[in-house]
A and B are shown apart, each in its own frame.
Chain A
Amino acid sequence: MPSNRSVSDAPITQFINCRILRDHRLQREDLWVREGRILDPEKLFFDEQGYADKRVDCEGSIIAPGFIDVQINGGFGIDFSQASDDVSAGVSFVAKKILEHGVTSFCPTLVTSPPAVYHKVLPQVKVHGGGPHGAGVLGENRCVRPPPEDELQSFPELVLTRSSICGPFGAGGWSGSQSVVRELCQRSITCHSVANLSQAEDAVQTGASFITHLFNAMLPFHHRDPGIVGLLTSDQVPAGRTVYYGMIADGIHTNPAALRIAHRAHPSGLVLVTDAIAAMGLPPGRHTLGQQVIEIQGLHAYVAGTKTLSGSIATMDMCVRHFKQASGCSVEEALEAASLHPAQLLGLGHRKGNLDYGSDADLVLLDDALDVKATYISGEEVWRKGP
Chain B
Amino acid sequence: MTGSGSCDKTDVSQHLTAQLKNRVFSERAGTMRLVILDDYDLASEWAAKYIRNRIIQFKPSADRYFSLGLPTGSTPYGCYQKLIEYYRNGDISFKYVKTFNMDEYVGLPRAHPESYHSYMWNNFFKHIDIKPANAHILDGNAEDLEAECQAFEQKIAEAGGIELFVGGIGPDGHIAFNEPGSSLVSRTRVKTLAKDTIVANARFFGNDLSKVPTMALTVGVGTVMDAKEVMDQNHTDIFSSTTSCLLHCSLVMILITGAHKAFALYKAIEEGVNHMWTVSAFQQHPRTIFVCDEDATLELRVKTVKYFKGLMHVHNKLVDPVLSIKDQ
Contact = CB atoms under 8 A, between A and B. Distances in A.
B93 to A, nearest CB: 11
Interface stretch (A43-51, A148-156, A225-233, A307-315): A43-51
A45 B110 contact: no
B72 to A, nearest CB: 15
Interface string A39-72: 0011111101111000000000000000000000
Nearest to B139: A46
B132 A30 contact: no
Interface residues of A, number: 13
B29 interface: no
Interface in B91-140: 110-111, 117-118, 121-122, 125-126, 129, 131-133, 135
Nearest to A4: B132
B29 to A, nearest CB: 40
Contact of A51 (B110, B117, B122, B132): B132
A257 interface: no
Contacts of B131: 1, 49, 51
Contacts of A4: 132
B132 A42 contact: no
B126 A42 contact: yes
Contact of A49 (B110, B117, B122, B132): B132
B325 to A, nearest CB: 17
B117 A41 contact: no
Contact of B126 (A1, A41, A43, A48): A41
Interface string A260-273: 00000000000000
B135 A42 contact: no
B87 to A, nearest CB: 14
Contacts of A30: 126
A45 B126 CA distance: 9
Nearest to A44: B132
Contact of B125 (A1, A43, A45): A45
B110 A46 contact: yes
Contacts of B122: 42
Contacts of A50: 132
B116 to A, nearest CB: 11
A4 B131 CA distance: 11
Contacts of B117: 42, 46
Nearest to B137: A46
A50 B132 CA distance: 7
A49 B135 CA distance: 9
A42 B111 contact: yes
Contacts of A41: 126
Interface in A1-43: 1, 4, 30, 41-43
Nearest to B131: A1
Which interface residue of A41, A43, A46, A49 has the most chain B CB atoms within 10 A?
A: A46
A48 B117 CA distance: 14
Nearest to A46: B117
Contacts of B133: 49
A46 B132 contact: yes
A41 B117 CA distance: 13
A181 B172 CA distance: 69
A42 B111 CA distance: 8
Nearest to A3: B132
A49 to B, nearest CB: 4
A43 to B, nearest CB: 7
A13 to B, nearest CB: 16
Contacts of A42: 111, 117-118, 121-122, 126
A168 to B, nearest CB: 53
Contacts of B126: 30, 41-42, 45
B206 to A, nearest CB: 18
Nearest to A45: B132
Contacts of A48: 132
B321 to A, nearest CB: 30
A30 B127 CA distance: 10
A51 B121 CA distance: 13
Contacts of A45: 121, 125-126, 132, 135
Nearest to A1: B131
A353 to B, nearest CB: 23
A87 to B, nearest CB: 46
A51 B122 CA distance: 15
A252 B183 CA distance: 77
Contacts of B135: 45
Contacts of B110: 46
A198 B273 CA distance: 80
Nearest to B126: A41
Interface in A307-348: none
A1 B62 CA distance: 13
A44 B110 CA distance: 13
Interface in B130-155: 131-133, 135
Contacts of B111: 42-43
Nearest to B133: A49
A41 B132 CA distance: 11
A324 B199 CA distance: 46
Nearest to B121: A42
B96 to A, nearest CB: 12
Contacts of A1: 129, 131
Which interface residue of B110, B131, B132 has the most chain A CB atoms within 10 A?
A: B132
A7 B121 CA distance: 20
9 contacts: A4-B132, A41-B126, A42-B122, A42-B126, A43-B111, A44-B132, A45-B121, A45-B135, A49-B131
Given A42-B117, A49-B131, 19 more contacts: A1-B129, A4-B132, A42-B111, A42-B121, A42-B122, A42-B126, A43-B111, A44-B132, A45-B125, A45-B126, A45-B132, A45-B135, A46-B110, A46-B117, A46-B121, A46-B132, A48-B132, A49-B133, A51-B131
Q: Closest 9 CB pairs between A and B?
A: A49-B132, A49-B133, A45-B132, A42-B121, A46-B117, A51-B132, A45-B121, A45-B125, A46-B110
Interface of A: 1, 4, 30, 41-46, 48-51
